Amino acid sequence: MFLTNSVKKLINAASRTAISLIGNISKILSISNRYYLGVFVGNIIRLLSKKRADVTYNNIKMAFPELSNKEITKIAKQAYHNLGITLVELLAFPKLSIEDYHKYVHYENIELINEALSRNKGLILLSGHFGNWELLATTAGSFSNIPIKVVVKAQSNSYFDRIINNYRTMMGNKLIPMDKAARELIYCIKKNEPFALLVDQSADSSKDIFVDFFGRPAATYEAPAQLSYKYDVPILYGFAVRNAKHTYNVKLYELDRSGLDKCTDPIRELTIRHVKALEDIIKQYPGQWSWQHKRWKHTPPKEYYEN
C-alpha cells in the first residue's frame, strides 16, 4: 500500500510539473508554434502507453478494414497529435482574449444557437472528442453571448481536473458533473438554457442502448435522444475541424427529428441519427478523433441481433 501511494504521489507530482511547464510555454507561442508543440506532446503521450496505442491501432483497423497497416499507423499518430494539440491549446486559455478566440475558431452559422433558443424549448448541443472539443465548447458560449452548461466527467488526476475545469469556465460557461446531470438537465430545459454533451464514449451497457458505430454495436448514451423526444427539445451538433492554418472551422447543424412519431423506437432512431453524424465527420477527418478510447468494450445483449 505504501509503495502504491508513493508511486501515485510521484505520478501526480510529475503531472503537475509537466502541465505547468507545457502551459507556461504554450501561453507565449503563436498559433502555429502551439500546434507543433502539441504534435510533440502527442508523440510523447503515444510512447507512454503501448497498451493504449494498441487499442488505438486496433480501433482504426476495425473501423477501416480496407486500409493498409501504413495508413492505419498514420491515422493513429495523427490521433495522438490531436490529443497533444488539444491539451497544449487548452493550457493557453488563460492567455487568450476574445479576439484571440476569434482568430482560432470560425463559425459559419453561430446564430443557429440563438434561433433554436428562440423557440423556448431548451437546446441540446452535441459533439464528440473531435478536433479541439474544448475550444468548441468555450467559443460556442462566448461567441453566441449565451453561457452554456457543459456536462463533464471527472478526470482521474485531481490536479488536472481542477485546472481544466477552471479553464472551461473562464468565458462564462458553467459545468454539470456527469454523475449529477439527470435532474439538472431537465431544469435547464424548463429554463430554456442550452446544455452541451460529448456523446462518443462508451456508455453504461446496463441502462443505455446499443447502436451501430462503424458497423459495430456500441453502448451509447440514451439521455440526449430521450430528453429531446420527451420534451420536444431541438438538438444542434457541430465539430471543430482543424484546417491547414492550424485554426478551426465549425458549422452547426440541427439534427433531423422528423418522423419520430412513426418509429417503433423513436429514441433509438434519434440516437442512430446523431451517431451517424459523428461517424460521417470522422470518416472525413479520421486523424482528428480520439481513437484511444475503448468505444466497443461492451457486448450487446442477444436481443440486439434479433431486432
- Reported as a single tens digit per residue, the pLDDT across 126-176 is 999 999 999 999 999 999 999 999 999 888 777 888 888 999 999 999 999
CA–CA gap between residue 85 and residue 33 (Å, rounded): 10
Give the pLDDT confidence score for residue 2 in this predicted structure: 44
Indicate the pTM of the whole model. Answer: 0.92
Q: How much of the chain is in helix, strand and coil states, percent to nearest 5?
A: 55, 15, 30
Give the pLDDT confidence score for residue 205 in this predicted structure: 85
CA neighbor of 40 nearest in space, from 95, 90, 80: 80
At 5, the pLDDT band (50, 70, 90 cuts) reads: low
Cα-to-chain-centroid distance, residue 116: 21
CA–CA gap between residue 179 and residue 182 (Å, rounded): 8
> What is the per-residue pLDDT across 222-263, written as a single tens digit (0 to 9) for each?
999 999 999 999 999 999 999 999 999 999 999 999 999 999
For the segment 102-114, the average pLDDT, to the nearest whole number, is 97
> What is the per-residue pLDDT across 24-43, written as a single tens digit (0 to 9) for each?
999 999 999 999 999 999 99
Average pLDDT of the residues of the chain: 92
Residues in CB range of 137: below 8 A, 6 or more apart: 127, 148, 150, 168, 173, 196
